[in-house]
Amino acid sequence: MKYDFDKITDRKNTSCLKYDFAVERGRPASVLPLWVADMDIPTAPAVTDALKSRAEHGIFGYTMPKKDYFSVVAKWFKQRHGWNADPEKFICTPGVVFAICTLIKAVTKEGDGVICCQPVYYPFATSVTNNNRKLVVSELKLKDGRYYIDFEDFENKITANNVKAFILCSPHNPVGRVWEREEITRLGDICLKHGVFVISDEIHCDFTFKNHTHIVFSTVKKEFEEHCAICTAPSKSFNLAGLQISNIYIPSPEVRKKFEDELDRVGYWEPGVMGMTACAAAYQKGGEWFDCLKEYLAANLAFVRDYLKDIPHIKLIEPEGTYLLWLDCRALGLNDQALQALVEQKAKLWLDDGYIFGAGGSGFERLNIACPRSTLECALGRLKEAIKGN
């Protein structure tokens, strides 16, 4: 392979959330972290080169994205997902969670219901409750190792709870589903029927495994366009979370105006120059690197799948997308506290415990496989030994 994804890069003492905050967050100092969704793999060389060259300029004054920046963003999505996005309809924010909170404020009122399908990325719930909206949950259903939406429950919860917005996770973190066209259509139709605005978080869209195709929500039906926002970012694909850049697509002029008003209220006007530089370089010149990375991660997945044959109590929920694996640990027969203790105290690992994603996540753990294979091997070895001695 052209790029050395096996190379270990020491992230300690870089103010790294994943590696430098174990003790502050109540974990043993020696844990190996495979929790938060960033990679232990350096970004594409083209991105580093662009950042170096911009740094050498030496002036870091205020910056604004022009149409050419958003044209680069749109081109990536056209090439990768066949999506004809209009560059004029993107807005930059310093992250997708920031955008979700801002959208909630823009399209709903205090006390309104906001629905999501748990287990799901945990900041969805806090984005709703921190903004004094009512969190409404429709649980995903697990059947034969695959998660599904319970459409009847989803619609009933909408009508019963004055729901005004839906936060869709597509592809879905943590259960790894890449939603099919029929599923997205059904969700969109229900939302349209009940006047529910769809906040579609598509931050993981570039990571799909073989035979699975990501469908951009707004492309499914013309009628969906005006009632949705598509949240995108280069941060997962190119490991740029620390550069705080995301590109949010809002087709409706009215909603875009409300969104901009909310940004005005918090005084956010210009994105950081390094984030924009990195994003443009990634989307313009990082495609080939990204394809190699995806191959490496698919091999990591195969490695874990194989390794787990030796850990019979842990069952992999086969992912269709994302680099986050959802491990069914229920056969261990432990409650959440005991499972967390096994993972952290015995295996000396820092994973994301399933229960934090919602009640349905109880008995599961989330494992981030975006790291050199030797890190994964070490983590799985620790897990195997800990379970053996349990």
Binding ligand PLP by CB under 6 A: which of 95, 271, 321, 363? Answer: 95
Burial of 29 (0-12, 13-18, 19+ CB in 10 A): exposed
Kindly provide the b/e burial profile for residues 197-222, where b requires at least 16 CB atoms within 10 angstroms of the residue's own CB: bbbbbbbbbbbbbeebebbbbbbbee
Residue 169 contacts ligand PLP per CB under 6 A = yes
Residue whose structure tokens are 């599904």: 148
Contact flag: residue 203 with ligand PLP (CB under 6 A): yes
Question: CA-to-CA distance for 179 and 122, rounded, in angstroms?
Answer: 19
121 is a site residue for ligand PLP (CB under 6 A): yes
Closer residue to ligand PLP in complex, CB, 95/188: 95
User: Binding segment for ligand PLP among 19-27, 48-56, 95-103, 125-133 (CB under 6 A)?
Assistant: 95-103
Site string for ligand PLP, 264-303 (x = CB under 6 A): ----------------------------------------
Among 97, 168, 281, 383, binds ligand PLP (CB under 6 A): 97
Residue 273: CB minimum distance to ligand PLP, A:
18
Nearer to ligand PLP, 3 or 122 (CB): 122
What's the CA gap between 200 and 169, in Å, rounded? Answer: 6
The reply to whether 201 sits near ligand PLP by the rule CB under 6 A is: yes
CB of 176 to ligand PLP, least distance (A): 11
> CA 255, CA 91: separation in Å to the nearest integer?
12
Alpha carbons 142 and 102: distance in angstroms, whole number: 31
Residue whose CB is less far from ligand PLP, 128 or 241:
241
d(CA 153, CA 164): 16
40 binds ligand PLP (CB under 6 A): no
Count residues near ligand PLP (CB under 6 A): 13
Q: Which of these, 51, 41, 45, 40, lies nearest to 278 by C-alpha position?
A: 51
Strand 197-201 vs strand 228-232: parallel, antiparallel, or unpaired? parallel
Summarize the chain as % helix, strand, coil (round to 5). 45, 15, 40
Q: Does the protein bind ligand PLP through residue 96 (CB under 6 A)?
A: yes
Tell me the CA distances in angstroms from 75 to 7, 95, 254, one per residue in order: 31, 20, 25
CB of 388 to ligand PLP, least distance (A): 31
State in angstroms the smallest separation of the CB of 178 from ligand PLP. 13
E strands present in 151-308: 163-169, 197-201, 228-232, 246-249
DSSP 278: H
Q: Determine which residue in the list 118, 218, 246, 247 makes contact with ligand PLP, applying CB under 6 A.
A: 246
Does the footprint of ligand PLP cover residue 136 (CB under 6 A)?
no
Q: Site residues for ligand PLP, window 204-243 (CB under 6 A)? A: 233, 235, 241
Query: Which residues are near ligand PLP by CB under 6 A?
Result: 37, 95-97, 121, 169, 173, 201, 203, 233, 235, 241, 246
